[in-house]
Amino acid sequence: MSKTILATIVVALAAACGGAGASQQHVTDDDVRQALSAAGIVPPLATTVDAPALVELGRMLFFDKILSGNRNISCATCHHPSATTGDALPLSIGPGGVGLAEDRVLAEGTLNPRNALPLFNLGEGSAHALFWDGRVSREPGTAILNVPDPNLTGASIDPAWRPYTEQLLTPLAAQAMFPVTLAAEMRGAGTENELASAPDNRAVWERLMLRLGAYPDYVQLFLAAYPAVAAFDDLNFAHAARAIAAFERAAYTQLDTPLDRYLAGEPDALSDSAKRGAVLFCGPANCTACHRGEHLTDWDTHAIAAPQLGPGTEPPLEDRGRFRVTSLPEDLYAFRTPPLRNVALTGPWTHAGAYATLEGVVRHHLDPVAGLLEYDATQLPASLQTSVDVDPARNAARLAAVSPLLGAPLVLTDAQVTDLVAFLHALTSPSSLALLADIPDTVPSGLPVAD
């Protein structure tokens, strides 16, 4: 008997018996609202609005390849509006690549070890932890920012660094300091340019400001964005980072989802399937153990043993996630719970882009052992299929680390998985498909905007 026929019978039986597993069972709007509200899934508060001049400076910087060592890659190359702020690839391709999104190929150098995260809804508000391993984060109690540079972190900052930290008031602004410091993202390697050969992060940032200051249009944009600052020389790269964050917040805060319309009182905004999915998500499927709150994440890190592919952060083939930041055994293979708003638009999914379908990643959660050990590499582009790590010892370590919150394998019917996926689709904001208007025709450096 085919799997589908079997599944149909199981569902039909379950529906006939009205048992707990019966996916087709009717859920009332009261059930849905109660389930969502108990998990803190509420419409996010409106975020701060920045001055238009700051946003405009940020927009130019975001699309300008002048920020990269070899002047050949911008933030937008990996976070492109046409690829819903990602690059549609399992693993990003840095300065050694050519082309855009699915057409981008590695010409030289190495692949980025991780999947490009989307940029939706990361402005102020509750976004406490950025990157797959949460290495840029704000401590909820103290508001102290943790970042991957000791000079910019901690309760007491050296006065020489205060002009930087004064600008880095949000995790999103702090994050924008770092792509330019990474060989595999924007900086380039060896001595191929003056950023690559800079002795430390500060030298990268200072050399970038020298570059930008050479363009009168940038000087003008910076002084318009920071009217209280007398001269361009009084600015540092944190002012650029803050502007980039202002642009990201202005352009990529997208909250017009069916879920938000439903929560605002439109009962028909969610299909019946999405409503059943919502109740499952918050209840029997236990997704809200981690994906809860207004952005459907706890902003914390957990291990789920998602398949590992590509070079890894610890070549060859290893990425131990949060452990690399904290060295705490409990953080082994833990990755930040991804926010799920717009998730249907931002595949491939998981930290190394292992899953090409939402159904695949949902099923992985139901049974991580099967997900990891029976992973189907044919869903990857051909060039990555052989890079999947199948080492038994490393995979055993990945499975040993899996969060107890995922519990025992969870048996759901195919119809229930369909409902969960329908709920995930209800988190898609239609305006996130119309972002191209933000792409500037030209940027102050005169470098090509297109990839």
Binding site for ligand HEC (CB under 6 A): 67, 73, 75, 77-79, 92, 94, 112, 114, 116-117, 119, 122, 130-132, 172, 175-176, 179-180, 185-186, 244, 281, 285-287, 289-291, 302, 304, 306, 335, 337-338, 343, 346, 349-351, 358, 361-362, 365, 403, 405-406, 420, 424
Closest to ligand HEC by CB, 2 or 323? 323
Buried b (16+ CB within 10 A) or exposed e, 387-425: bbbeeeebbebbbebbbeebeeeeebbbbbbbbbbbbbb
Closest to ligand HEC by CB, 190 or 265? 190
Whether the Cβ atoms of residue 116 and residue 350 lie closer than 8 Å to each other: no
| CA 167 to centroid of chain Cα atoms | 23
* CB atoms near residue 321 (< 10 Å): 25
Closest to ligand HEC by CB, 133 or 260? 133
Closest to ligand HEC by CB, 155 or 291? 291
Closest to ligand HEC by CB, 14 or 366? 366
Closest to ligand HEC by CB, 276 or 302? 302
Q: Minimum distance from CB of 165 to ligand HEC (Å)?
A: 18
Q: Minimum distance from CB of 451 to ligand HEC (Å)?
A: 10
Residue 1: CB partners within 8 Å, gap ≥ 6?
A: none
Closest to ligand HEC by CB, 230 or 408? 408
* CB atoms near residue 442 (< 10 Å): 13
Record the tokens describing residue 257, joined without a space. Answer: 């989802």
Spatial distance between the Cα atoms of 125 and 19, rounded to a whole number of angstroms: 40
Q: Minimum distance from CB of 112 to ligand HEC (Å)?
A: 5
Closest to ligand HEC by CB, 2 or 369? 369
Closest CA to 280 of 372, 408, 366: 366
Spatial distance between the Cα atoms of 72 and 44, rounded to a whole number of angstroms: 36
Q: Minimum distance from CB of 95 to ligand HEC (Å)?
A: 7
Whether the Cβ atoms of residue 49 and residue 123 lie closer than 8 Å to each other: no
Spatial distance between the Cα atoms of 424 and 343, rounded to a whole number of angstroms: 7
Q: What's the burial of 4, exposed, middle or buried (CB within 10 Å: 0-12/13-18/19+)?
A: exposed
Spatial distance between the Cα atoms of 351 and 333, rounded to a whole number of angstroms: 11
Closest to ligand HEC by CB, 138 or 351? 351
Q: Minimum distance from CB of 417 to ligand HEC (Å)?
A: 9
Q: Minimum distance from CB of 122 to ligand HEC (Å)?
A: 6
Our CA angle for 310, 312, 317, nearest 5°, is: 75
Record the tokens describing residue 147, joined without a space. Answer: 């970042």
Spatial distance between the Cα atoms of 398 and 393, rounded to a whole number of angstroms: 9
Q: Minimum distance from CB of 422 to ligand HEC (Å)?
A: 11
Q: Minimum distance from CB of 230 to ligand HEC (Å)?
A: 26
Whether the Cβ atoms of residue 450 and residue 101 lie closer than 8 Å to each other: no
Q: Minimum distance from CB of 262 to ligand HEC (Å)?
A: 18
Q: Minimum distance from CB of 169 to ligand HEC (Å)?
A: 15
Closest to ligand HEC by CB, 11 or 61? 61
